[in-house]
Structure 1
């Protein structure tokens, strides 16, 4: 936790009101230190989001911020000057020197965003409408960035969705067995190896590179408090070159099963087809016509690949002794892996119906 006086000093580096009122931790994210800072100049109250970037995960914070500046500027230019533009695109607040971020005396990287009022995020899906609205927002996000001018965006995390490399890392973890856990995960190791070919399904498909979000969870879309409309895509740290199917796959992974990611009762874990229908319709509605026919045809494969990829990441971390994902109990990463593999099995079982729906909507 960063001291209040330090937060006040950092906040005042940015173009904000002078009447500091309060600062408190904000949101449910686990990567950055995020605060809601309130100012009051006597006439009105203003809130900003102040974030200290986690440079252990994002090792090139300048590249991350350059991506965010380019993406948000382009989104704003594509959306025009509508009255609601301030709620539909994240707005970075410049420092007094005109920079988009600040480096403090300890070498910490900071950024500030305007707070978007009368909107909120949700950590789990409560209805098909929520899934539809979030997926539509992500589809529109991809569509609006499809004509982002060169140069190519930085890769904020290189090989983030290189599933073949993820599979190789999993196999190395099995071979090393550093925590003597192989026996506990014998069935999961066999499940993963039986689906090794999934690792190359998208990489070898010759699909066009797009600007993708790469973390398309429900809680990365702000939904309007009154209408429930998907207003603004947030958490842009992983926006970089990728495949459209990556983003769609992560929507299926995170929005079509209401159960917890570490649910132990696997009988409760399955893709809800009604939620899948909502995600697919929302995404295609937001994406519009920019997707090519091969990209549309890759979406179900994208769901399988991303769920598989996340499963082997959890499994590899379990085998390595829980060195990457935080855990609250010894087998939590194994439980996370099991839920992903159960979701993958559910997709496999419903794949014909999913493909039929996709063809009907394409």
Structure 2
């Protein structure tokens, strides 16, 4: 039975009636397998079905517990306020037995979430107006969760967005030896990391406050209203956990300010767009100004510098370990991804003075 056939059988666990289901792949995620399910009769309703990657999330049930805590908190807060606009969040769709998930006979973990209709996502920021919408989405998420106790959430990915841990893993992999000839590109990548070792520990040594973070607020996890173009939702909530907002904001800027994209054909052409950065920060600060502290703002440049370096190191380490974490279409792709991120980190470093000025501005 292929994956689509399995998805069809699992999807029926999440529908009450028998009928024809239309299932197609959704998105291009590197971790989970995601499908859009349409119940064609009688309701024509749609929902998102996902098989959670248990190599990445060994305890996927904790993801659903976190999601319940998050959604209960956010919806209670939204019910108390009268904002003219706010973020939408997907509903958890339960099985016929009333469970938040389904485990198939092979032990794979599946869950279903409501589909947020009339929205779209983008792989590249179109202009400054769209960048402001991204800044609003992340800022609003942080505002909605600013009074949610981080201790009420499980850490579903221990070590995720803890940069010194990635460096330690890289060192362990290197200590075992390469096992294959070293190319010029690999030597460059290794030297790039070695020259920036102190950068990895800056945020963790700063004693910054722990908050609730999204964990993966890259551009294509922001849904935009298909009509107005305004940010409607921030999705992919599997990585919500206690952490530093710096990792969220840094990752968002890393994703959006690289106009060439993560799969750029020529890493030398990758650059960090200051105009997009300015637009995102302006909208982000408008939502977070009431609670973001001065010490947190002080370290924002360090986050912008660190996140492409961190992701590049993760790609590099996965390449050395045989591409176990990030899906690849061909050998060497994770090394190519690493080089793109390292080039982006270089351009951030070259713009340090300007980025620090932007992070000091008040909305």
Q: TM-score, normalised by structure 1?
A: 0.91
What do residues 327-358 of structure 1 show as CA deviations (whole Å, max 9, x unaligned)?
Answer: 33443322222211111111111111111122
Match of 1:235 in 2: 236
Tell me how large the CA RMSD over aligned residues is: 2.4
Alignment check: 8 A CA contact 1:174 1:182 kept: no
Does residue 165 (structure 1) correspond to residue 165 (structure 2)? The answer is yes
1:217 deviation in Å? 0.7
1:317 deviation in Å? 2.8
1:306 deviation in Å? 1.3
Match of 2:60 in 1: 61
Of residues 73-82 and 24-33 in structure 1, the stretch that sits farther from structure 2 once superposed is 73-82
Classify the secondary structure of the residue corresponding to 2:303.
helix
Could you tell me how far apart the structure 2 residues matched to 1:26 and 1:84 are? 30
- Residues 320 and 213 of structure 1: CA distance in aligned 2, closer, same or farther (over 3 Å): same
Could you tell me how far apart the structure 1 residues matched to 2:329 and 2:24 are? 25
- Residues 283 and 16 of structure 1: CA distance in aligned 2, closer, same or farther (over 3 Å): farther
Classify the secondary structure of the residue corresponding to 2:344.
helix
What do residues 77-132 of structure 1 show as CA deviations (whole Å, max 9, x unaligned)?
Answer: 11118899997111111223332222233322221111111111112222222222
Alignment check: 8 A CA contact 1:131 1:278 kept: yes
What is the correspondence of 1:221-300 to structure 2 with a 5 Å cutoff? 221-300=222-301
Classify the secondary structure of the residue corresponding to 2:34.
strand
Classify the secondary structure of the residue corresponding to 1:154.
coil
1:144 deviation in Å? 0.7
Q: Which runs of 5+ in 2 are unaligned?
A: none
Match of 1:155 in 2: 155
Of residues 74-83 and 331-340 in structure 1, the stretch that sits farther from structure 2 once superposed is 74-83
What is the correspondence of 1:1-362 to structure 2 with a 5 Å cutoff? 1-4=2-5, 6-14=6-14, 16=16, 18-42=18-42, 44-80=43-79, 88-149=88-149, 151-182=151-182, 184=184, 185-361=186-362
1:279 deviation in Å? 1.8
Q: Which runs of 5+ in 1 are unaligned?
A: none
Alignment check: 8 A CA contact 2:308 2:344 kept: yes
- Residues 46 and 322 of structure 1: CA distance in aligned 2, closer, same or farther (over 3 Å): closer
Could you tell me how far apart the structure 2 residues matched to 1:62 and 1:188 are? 37
Alignment check: 8 A CA contact 1:8 1:20 kept: no
1:326 deviation in Å? 3.1
1:188 deviation in Å? 2.4
1:281 deviation in Å? 1.5
- Residues 36 and 172 of structure 1: CA distance in aligned 2, closer, same or farther (over 3 Å): same
Of residues 62-71 and 283-292 in structure 1, the stretch that sits farther from structure 2 once superposed is 283-292
- Residues 328 and 108 of structure 1: CA distance in aligned 2, closer, same or farther (over 3 Å): closer
Could you tell me how far apart the structure 1 residues matched to 2:75 and 2:40 are? 27
Alignment check: 8 A CA contact 2:38 2:46 kept: yes
1:189 deviation in Å? 1.8
Could you tell me how far apart the structure 1 residues matched to 2:244 and 2:182 are? 33
Could you tell me how far apart the structure 2 residues matched to 1:188 and 1:217 are? 23
1:176 deviation in Å? 2.8
Alignment check: 8 A CA contact 1:75 1:144 kept: yes
Classify the secondary structure of the residue corresponding to 2:223.
strand
Of residues 77-86 and 281-290 in structure 1, the stretch that sits farther from structure 2 once superposed is 77-86
Classify the secondary structure of the residue corresponding to 1:126.
coil
Of residues 132-141 and 14-23 in structure 1, the stretch that sits farther from structure 2 once superposed is 14-23
Could you tell me how far apart the structure 2 residues matched to 1:28 and 1:324 are? 15
- Residues 108 and 314 of structure 1: CA distance in aligned 2, closer, same or farther (over 3 Å): closer
1:361 deviation in Å? 2.2
- Residues 329 and 13 of structure 1: CA distance in aligned 2, closer, same or farther (over 3 Å): closer
Could you tell me how far apart the structure 1 residues matched to 2:241 and 2:197 are? 26
- Residues 117 and 346 of structure 1: CA distance in aligned 2, closer, same or farther (over 3 Å): same
Of residues 275-284 and 237-246 in structure 1, the stretch that sits farther from structure 2 once superposed is 275-284
What do residues 1-23 of structure 1 show as CA deviations (whole Å, max 9, x unaligned)?
Answer: 4354x544433333555543422
Alignment check: 8 A CA contact 2:214 2:239 kept: yes
Classify the secondary structure of the residue corresponding to 1:88.
coil
